[in-house]
Amino acid sequence: MKVLLLFTGGTISMVRDPKSGALHPADMQVFQSFVPELFAGEIQVDMFPFDPLIDSSNVNPENWAKMAHVVYDNYEKYDGFVILHGTDTMSYSASALSFMLHNLTKPVVFTGSQLPVGVLRSDAKENLLTAIEIAAAKDDMGNAMVPEVTIFMDDELYRGNRTTKRNAEHFSAFKSYNYPALARAGVRITYNKQFIAQPNLQEELHLRDKTDCNVAVLKLFPGITESIVKSILSTPGLRGVVLETYGAGNAPSCDWLYQHLRDAVERGIIIVNKTQCNTGSVDMGQYAVSLPLLKAGVISGYDITTEALLTKMMYLLGENPTDNELVKRMLQTPLCGELTKR
Ligand code: ASP
């Protein structure tokens, strides 16, 4: 069994600078010296270090494309892939890769840690070694147990595009609010097979790495002013907006909000309604206060996360620079388990 370990950085790889006291990425050799077990087991682990290693706050779409390319270029040589990544933006990166790697039939497991690998109480080793086991796991037919882009952290495996970083303190940094865990690691790793994707094994992997960053998040709050809404919606080049609404997709009933949203939609900007609640779904029309959004041409994001919606928009707009109707249709269609329509 062979697993390729992509090493992008993150706390897992960091050491403390004696002068500033701040954590920064160390090099691969330092990291390797802390985990000799990695190369002593039955699974052959090869490393692919990124240069430079980064704090994931610095991740960008070029980094996503590079990660996707490394998986794509090495796809036949390995049973699975583990991506070591900072936790801060891991949900964005895992979501982006789930869209870029089309027809994935092998595991791509993101993991990281809340404490650096060299610290005594670190969660790094456990996360890394279990992620590698999951990336190499096969079912009775010899197929990959979890042929998806996932995040493993603490003791749970989640579909990557369903996750949100919810905790900056505890080892269980992530949560998948609207989709069950795909596996739990205790004494044994228990897989929840009914929730794991079943890809068509005959289909080939396709790499789709174009993105368009002309997107924005507009978060509503009581007291939001017309000039703020107007300035976001009139950003030059803007193509897509994640509109973060209340509850089941509700918004204040002011005429100016409706007018600005409608004007933006008429100018070809795609606006998707995403609830600010972690759990549950947008249901425009349930309350009278959401009817103007429907009338303005805002479309539903259902129960998708902001991380998945933003990266899906960037990906769809990058791949389809001119066909807005197609992008809107795809935004409302689950492409790799990122949303459930109700
Ligand atoms: N700032 C770090 C990063 O995202 C945090 C972490 O890895 O947990 O790279």
- Pocket flag, ligand 1, residue 11 (CB < 6 Å): yes
- Pocket flag, ligand 1, residue 111 (CB < 6 Å): no
The answer on pLDDT for 41 being more than 90 is no
Per-position DSSP letters for 262-307, written without gaps between them: HHHHHTT-EEEEEESSSSS---TTSSGGGHHHHHHT-EE-TT--HH
Tell me how far apart the alpha carbons of residues 237 and 213 are, in angstroms, rounded to a whole number.
10
Close Cβ partners of 94 (under 8 Å, ≥ 6 residues apart) = 110, 149, 150, 151, 160, 161, 163
Rounded to an integer, the average pLDDT of 221-248 is 98
pTM exceeds 0.75 for this model: yes
The answer on pLDDT for 252 being more than 90 is yes
Rounded to an integer, the average pLDDT of 314-320 is 97
Pick the residue whose CA is nearest to atom 4 on ligand 1. 86
Does the annotation count 11 as an active-site position?
yes
Q: Catalytic residue among 11, 150, 211, 275, which? A: 11
What integer pLDDT is reported at residue 36 of this predicted model? 87
The answer on pLDDT for 199 being more than 80 is yes
Pick the residue whose CA is nearest to atom 7 on ligand 1. 86
Tell me how far apart the alpha carbons of residues 271 and 257 are, in angstroms, rounded to a whole number.
13
What integer pLDDT is reported at residue 33 of this predicted model? 86
Rounded to an integer, the average pLDDT of 257-263 is 98
Best residue among 87, 123, 152 to mutate for probing ligand 1, ranked by most atoms within 8 Å of CB: 87
3-state secondary structure 56-71: HHHCCHHHHHHHHHHH
**Mean of the per-residue pLDDT values of the chain:** 96
Q: How far away, in angstroms, is 88 Cα from ligand 1 center?
A: 5
Answer with the residue of higher pLDDT: 13 or 244. Answer: 244
- Pocket flag, ligand 1, residue 86 (CB < 6 Å): yes
Q: Could you tell me the CA-to-CA distances from 37 to 7, 41, 48, 77 in Å, in that order? A: 17, 7, 17, 22
Answer with the residue of higher pLDDT: 33 or 251. Answer: 251
What integer pLDDT is reported at residue 104 of this predicted model? 97
Write out the H or E segment, with its range, that includes residue 98.
helix 90-100
- Pocket flag, ligand 1, residue 10 (CB < 6 Å): yes
> Tokens standing for 120?
């005594």
Q: How far away, in angstroms, is 307 Cα from ligand 1 center?
A: 16
- Pocket flag, ligand 1, residue 55 (CB < 6 Å): yes
Facing residues of 189 across strands? 185
Q: How far away, in angstroms, is 104 Cα from ligand 1 center?
A: 26
Facing residues of 181 across strands? none
Pairing of strands 14-16, 23-25: antiparallel
Rounded to an integer, the average pLDDT of 216-231 is 98
Tell me how far apart the alpha carbons of residues 45 and 66 are, in angstroms, rounded to a whole number.
20
What integer pLDDT is reported at residue 107 of this predicted model? 98
What is the atom index within ligand 1 of the atom nearest the CA of 173? 8
Contact 214, 114 (CB under 8 A): no
Facing residues of 275 across strands? 245
Pick the residue whose CA is nearest to atom 3 on ligand 1. 86
What integer pLDDT is reported at residue 339 of this predicted model? 98
What integer pLDDT is reported at residue 17 of this predicted model? 83
Q: Could you tell me the CA-to-CA distances from 110 to 7, 107, 161, 302, 341 in Å, in that order? A: 10, 10, 11, 25, 26
Q: How far away, in angstroms, is 65 Cα from ligand 1 center?
A: 20
What integer pLDDT is reported at residue 14 of this predicted model? 87
Burial 242-264 (b: 16+ CB within 10 A, else e): bbbbbbbbbbbeeeebbebbbeb
Q: How far away, in angstroms, is 53 Cα from ligand 1 center?
A: 12
Q: How far away, in angstroms, is 10 Cα from ligand 1 center?
A: 4
Q: CB-hemisphere CA count at 13 Å for 236?
A: 0
**Residue 72 dihedral angles phi and psi, to the nearest 5°:** -60, -45
The answer on pLDDT for 27 being more than 90 is no
The answer on pLDDT for 50 being more than 80 is yes
What is the atom index within ligand 1 of the atom nearest the CA of 25? 9
Percent of the chain having pLDDT more than 90?
89
Pick the residue whose CA is nearest to atom 8 on ligand 1. 87
> Tokens standing for 42?
């039955």
Cis ω before 49 (30° cut-off from 0) = no
The answer on pLDDT for 316 being more than 90 is yes
What is the atom index within ligand 1 of the atom nearest the CA of 55? 9
Percent of the chain having pLDDT more than 70?
100
Tell me how far apart the alpha carbons of residues 249 and 288 are, in angstroms, rounded to a whole number.
11
